[in-house]
A = this chain, B = another copy of it.
Amino acid sequence: MRKTQVNVDRLWATLMTHAEIGKLESGGICRETLTDVDKQGRDLFVQWCRDESLDVGIDEMGTIYATRPGTNSSLDPIAIGSHLDTQPTGGKFDGILGVLGGLEVIRTLNRAGIQTRRPITLINWTNEEGSRFQPSMVSSGVYAGVLTMADVAEIADADGIGFFEALEKIGYTGNEPVGARKFHSYLELHIEQGPVLEDEDTMIGVVTGAQAMSWNRFTVRGRESHAGTTPMSSRLDAMASANRLIARSFDLGNGIDDGRATVGVVRTEPASHNTIPHTVHFTLDMRHPDDVELARMIADLEVAVEEEHALGFEVSREEFGTAPAVRFDETCVDAIRDAAVEMGYSHRDIVSGAGHDAVYVSRVCPTAMVFTPCAGGISHNPIESITPEQAKAGVDVLLGATLRMADK
């Protein structure tokens, strides 16, 4: 077992202290991005960084970078971090564990007097959640060149307040151009937000990449008619057609390892209990860790759509969101896996099913992630929960991986 481990009591106390900011009665946090509560959370974080003698910089998206020097500070730093903003009814760990866990890594190094070859930069990305300002992961998106500052200038919240206006209001408009800082690599610790680690009683997820994803809106058109007077054989029932397509979608998701199919929204028209619907709208979220397999699932679905066309239905599919599979950097992934092995934590490779800042950052910088279990896989919910031991294990592995990468 490695001798340098993080301090679980300090880590947990830090998490709980910070969780007071925006605390909900339900036990969770409401700390949407660029609100006064977000400002309080940032202020406390910045204070804690300064207490550790970190050099704090802020970029034009409000992302905070706090750097601990290396023995060779001309080298690109190792970046670690995540986000401190939450959903309107969020939990205490989603994102936050990655930032405050990163702080615990710094504190541990400082207390133990450990020097690293490369600097270490702790990051709090602005607006990962995307609940107040869409889209999500907006600052890492600009950092990675997926979005531009001009795109962000168009973004406003439900009250019409612009992103940059809100950023200015809380005093976190920095002067660093986004993306000006280059990193040797980026490591992000996050709760899994799924049930796999808990179900398998595994402490550490070594995240090797992110799923490919396809978001689709289907519209099925048949013929409206009377539920009583129209024999089954005379119907062009849009719901019957949609139900077959939905069944096929689930079959495709179930039929392949690591496939996912989710029908989150279904809506009928005219939505009368005794009228056969002329139209059904539904969404289909399909995912797979492999682009080729996802494409095959969608091709199979197109066969099902053709079958409905042959029966007389009009079916349209609009793909309104898509993301290719992401493979994280092998050196980073190995550093995380090796750290877990060294610390004696049970671990498994896992593919992220959720979006993360790391997914964007991986486009411009070697990246990997560490997952810890969370109770019932539940996230984006005040009851989101992890144990101090799970938090410690995740931060221990982050520490070990950071040390490995910092000396490369």
Chain A interfacial positions (CB closer than 8 Å to B) = 192-196, 199, 211, 213, 215, 217, 225-232, 234, 237, 239-240, 243-244, 246-247, 250, 253-254, 258-268, 271-277, 280, 283, 285, 287, 352-355, 377-380
CB <8 Å contact, B265 and A271: yes
Give complex CA distance A193, B253 in Å: 41
CB <8 Å contact, A353 and B267: no
A82 CB, min distance to chain B CBs, angstroms: 16
CB closest residue in chain B, given A355: B228
CB <8 Å contact, A243 and B232: no
Give complex CA distance A250, B254 in Å: 23
CB <8 Å contact, A377 and B225: yes
CB <8 Å contact, B354 and A229: yes
Q: Which residues of B contact A283 (CB under 8 A)?
A: 273
Q: Which residues of B contact A377 (CB under 8 A)?
A: 225-226, 229-230, 234
CB closest residue in chain B, given A275: B264
CB <8 Å contact, B232 and A261: yes
CB <8 Å contact, B268 and A268: no
In the complex, the count of this chain's copies comes to 2
Known contacts A196-B234, A215-B273, A285-B274; decide if A239 and B263 are in contact (CB<8 Å).
Answer: yes
CB closest residue in chain B, given A320: B273
Give complex CA distance A239, B283 in Å: 12
Give complex CA distance A83, B324 in Å: 61
A66 CB, min distance to chain B CBs, angstroms: 29
Give complex CA distance A103, B217 in Å: 53
CB closest residue in chain B, given A256: B232
Give complex CA distance A355, B239 in Å: 23
Q: Which of B259, B266, B272 contacts A239 (CB 8 A)?
A: B266
Known contacts A195-B231, A285-B227, A285-B273; decide if A247 and B243 are in contact (CB<8 Å).
Answer: yes
CB <8 Å contact, B230 and A353: yes
Known contacts A253-B232, A268-B266; decide if A194 and B240 are in contact (CB<8 Å).
Answer: no
Q: Which residues of B contact A231 (CB under 8 A)?
A: 194-196, 258, 260
CB <8 Å contact, B250 and A276: no
CB <8 Å contact, B264 and A194: no
Give complex CA distance A287, B230 in Å: 11
Give complex CA distance A274, B353 in Å: 11
Q: Which residues of B contact A276 (CB under 8 A)?
A: 262, 264
CB closest residue in chain B, given A255: B232
Q: Which of B243, B265, B274, B355 contacts A243 (CB 8 A)?
A: B243
Most chain B beta-carbon neighbours within 10 Å: one of A225, A230, A273, A285: A273
Q: Which residues of B contact A258 (CB under 8 A)?
A: 231
